[in-house]
């Protein structure tokens, strides 16, 4: 026997994916909401958990109907689109929702396509479900136009197209024309990953309003970001019932625990309170973008709760300099850029002070002529 476990050939030597979980005072690296649940919400969750505990001898509601009704009601209020419970599919984080989508619509001999730079997990869902994965570059300013998207889809014939909007790590939202054009030409499903939708700027629409027109459209959302519920692991897809039925085939039995369902329903009943904090975070985000630019840095326009900024000749040194000062950001995206999550006003102030300290050391900025060309944008 060798020391190696007899694992699948394509998984040999592969490291698990994940941002470093380092215990520092200011953690701005995984796009979490910095505001913990209020005492009232925490108490209501405790009560809901106690109620659920009394029937934990039974398996949970396999179809999670109450939660799906509540999610549909939330979406009708948030986006003024008619969504019914049979169009909603919740799971343990939108990561699991994506896994269901790739399992049902990808698979051996099938292709998934996305537009880089984008969320690195898409490649992993593809790998785990034996789906081929290909990315096509976004424009140098990280936007994506309908021409590029349509040409890529015609060229590749993907069974799954994934469009992150707002995109991680750039914060860029897509115009509806691009999503519509992709849906109209795609031979398979088009997933619009709206993990950060609630943070979008005024006037930026949600793809939910296209569900009626495009039968192959799937919109995914999460409670991890705007709803400040990353620890509970709740995400969901919205699509026509025929697509949801396919996800019900590939899910593991009783995939969403009674505890998770109870917590999520309780959080949804506090939507107004939670979304009030989103407004505060959006203002902080816009302030952060303005400040970075005033300091002579580049910052990408963001519709999310994070900002990609740069460019640095050696981003690792900047990342380490910030960490030395107690601020953890994310080393991700194209070479020369870093990503910072919008925190509380105090955390954002700590970030600004730390960054000024690092930049004061000199020699950090990338040469101008390197500009924002498309090199390294994968």
Ligand X SMILES: *Cc1c(COP(=O)(O)O)cnc(C)c1O
226 lies in the site for ligand X, by CB under 6 A: no
149: nearest Cα among 131, 167, 132: 167
317: nearest Cα among 300, 334, 338: 338
Q: Report phi then psi at 42, rounded to 5.
A: -60, -40
Taking contact as CB under 6 A, which single stretch among the options 51-59, 79-87, 217-225, 255-263 is the one that binds ligand X?
Answer: 217-225
235 lies in the site for ligand X, by CB under 6 A: yes
Token pair 């040469």: residue: 367
In the complex, least distance from residue 195 CB atom to ligand X, rounded to whole angstroms: 4
Give, as ranges, the residues between 141 and 170 that touch ligand X (CB under 6 A). 164, 168
In the complex, least distance from residue 237 CB atom to ligand X, rounded to whole angstroms: 11
Number of Cβ atoms within 10 Å of the Cβ of 241:
13
Among 29, 33, 95, 143, binds ligand X (CB under 6 A): 95
In the complex, least distance from residue 232 CB atom to ligand X, rounded to whole angstroms: 9
x/- letters, 18..57, toward ligand X (CB under 6 A): -------------x--------------------------
Closer Cβ to ligand X, 119 or 309, answer by number: 119
Closer Cβ to ligand X, 195 or 218, answer by number: 195
CB distance 275 to 60 below 8 Å: no
Among 93, 188, 321, 343, binds ligand X (CB under 6 A): 93
Which residue has the closest beta carbon to ligand X?
93
In the complex, least distance from residue 321 CB atom to ligand X, rounded to whole angstroms: 25
Token pair 């959080």: residue: 267
Closer Cβ to ligand X, 301 or 357, answer by number: 301
How, if at all, do strands 235-238 and 217-222 pair? antiparallel
Among 33, 79, 94, 165, binds ligand X (CB under 6 A): 94
DSSP letter for 365, please. B
165-180 in b/e form (b: 16+ CB < 10 A) is bbbbbbbbbbeeebbb
Number of Cβ atoms within 10 Å of the Cβ of 209:
13
- Site size toward ligand X, by CB under 6 A: 14
Among 206, 222, 260, 266, binds ligand X (CB under 6 A): 222
Closer Cβ to ligand X, 224 or 348, answer by number: 224
Among 124, 206, 224, 305, binds ligand X (CB under 6 A): 224
Closer Cβ to ligand X, 247 or 358, answer by number: 247
Token pair 């902080």: residue: 284
Taking contact as CB under 6 A, which single stretch among the options 129-137, 222-230, 309-317, 330-338 is the one that binds ligand X?
Answer: 222-230
220, containing H or E segment: strand 217-222
Distance in angstroms between the alpha carbons of the first and the last residue of the chain: 39
Q: What are the distances in angstroms from CA 277 to CA 23, 287, 343, 352?
A: 24, 15, 11, 21
Taking contact as CB under 6 A, which single stretch among the options 1-9, 59-67, 92-100, 327-335 is the one that binds ligand X?
Answer: 92-100
Q: For residues 91 and 78, what is the distance between their CA atoms, to the nearest angstrom?
A: 20
119 lies in the site for ligand X, by CB under 6 A: yes
Closer Cβ to ligand X, 165 or 348, answer by number: 165
Q: What are the distances in angstroms from CA 223 to CA 20, 32, 45?
A: 22, 10, 15
Q: Catalog residues that contact ligand X under the rule CB under 6 A.
A: 31, 93-95, 119, 164, 168, 193, 195, 222, 224-225, 230, 235
């Amino acid at each position: 026997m060798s020391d190696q476990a007899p694992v699948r050939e394509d998984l040999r030597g592969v490291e698990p994916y994940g941002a470093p979980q380092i215990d520092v005072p200011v953690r701005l690296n995984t796009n979490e909401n910095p505001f913990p649940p209020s005492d009232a919400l925490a108490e209501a969750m405790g009560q809901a958990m106690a109620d659920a505990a009394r029937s934990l001898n039974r398996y949970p509601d396999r179809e999670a109907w109450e939660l799906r009704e509540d999610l549909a009601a939330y979406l009708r209020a948030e986006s003024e689109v008619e969504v019914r419970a049979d169009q909603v599919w919740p799971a343990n984080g939108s990561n699991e929702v994506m896994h269901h989508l790739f399992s049902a619509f990808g698979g051996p001999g099938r292709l998934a396509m996305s537009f880089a730079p984008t969320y690195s997990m898409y490649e992993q869902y593809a790998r785990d479900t034996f789906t081929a994965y290909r990315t096509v570059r976004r424009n140098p300013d990280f936007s994506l136009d309908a021409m590029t998207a349509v040409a890529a889809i015609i060229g590749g014939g993907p069974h799954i197209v994934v469009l992150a909007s707002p995109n991680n790590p750039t914060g860029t939202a897509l115009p509806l024309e691009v999503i519509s054009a992709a849906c109209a030409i795609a031979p398979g499903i088009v997933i619009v990953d709206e993990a950060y939708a609630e943070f979008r700027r005024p006037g930026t629409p949600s793809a939910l309003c296209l569900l009626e027109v495009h039968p192959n459209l799937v919109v995914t959302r999460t409670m991890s970001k705007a709803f400040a519920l990353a620890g509970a692991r709740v995400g969901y897809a919205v699509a026509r019932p025929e697509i949801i039925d396919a996800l019900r085939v590939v899910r593991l039995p009783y995939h969403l625990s009674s505890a998770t369902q109870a917590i999520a329903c309780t959080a949804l009943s506090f939507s107004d309170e939670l979304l009030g904090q989103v407004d505060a975070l959006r203002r902080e985000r816009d302030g952060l973008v303005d400040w970075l630019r005033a300091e002579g840095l580049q910052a990408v326009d963001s519709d999310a709760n994070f900002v990609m900024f740069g460019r640095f000749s050696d981003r690792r040194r900047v990342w380490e300099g910030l960490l030395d000062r107690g601020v953890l950001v994310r080393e991700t995206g194209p070479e020369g850029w870093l990503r910072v999550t919008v925190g509380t006003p105090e955390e954002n102030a700590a970030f600004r002070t730390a960054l000024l300290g690092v930049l004061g050391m000199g020699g950090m900025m990338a040469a101008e002529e390197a500009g924002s060309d498309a090199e390294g944008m994968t």
